[in-house]
Amino acid sequence: MTITQPPQPAHSSPNDSAAPAEPFLSVHTTVVLLTALVIGLVIGGLTALTGVPVPAAVIAGLTSAGASAPVLRTLIR
């Protein structure tokens, strides 16, 4: 027994959509957030190496990442 499927047009595929998908984040936003993440990791790691408790190092990293994001937004164009 064979199962027949309805014919599909040759120029379209099931994965095609009517409009192209837009990216979730722009390239600018991605670069700013990744740079802020790296800055936060570096500051948090260096703070942890000084001998302070780990939660204080995490807070220092989060604070530096959060403070650097608006500055990076204006610097990176």
Q: How far apart are CA 70 and CA 55, in angstroms?
A: 24
How many other CB atoms are there within 10 angstroms of residue 69's CB atom? 17
What separation in angstroms does the CA of 16 have from each of 20, 22, 38, 74? 9, 14, 37, 37
Give which of 21, 16, 17, 35 is closest to 76, Cα–Cα.
35
pLDDT, tens only, 33-73: 999 999 999 999 999 999 999 999 999 999 999 999 999 99
Residue 16 has pLDDT above 60, yes or no: no
Give which of 28, 37, 11, 41 is closest to 74, Cα–Cα.
28
Residue 14 has pLDDT above 70, yes or no: no
What's the chain's length in residues?
77
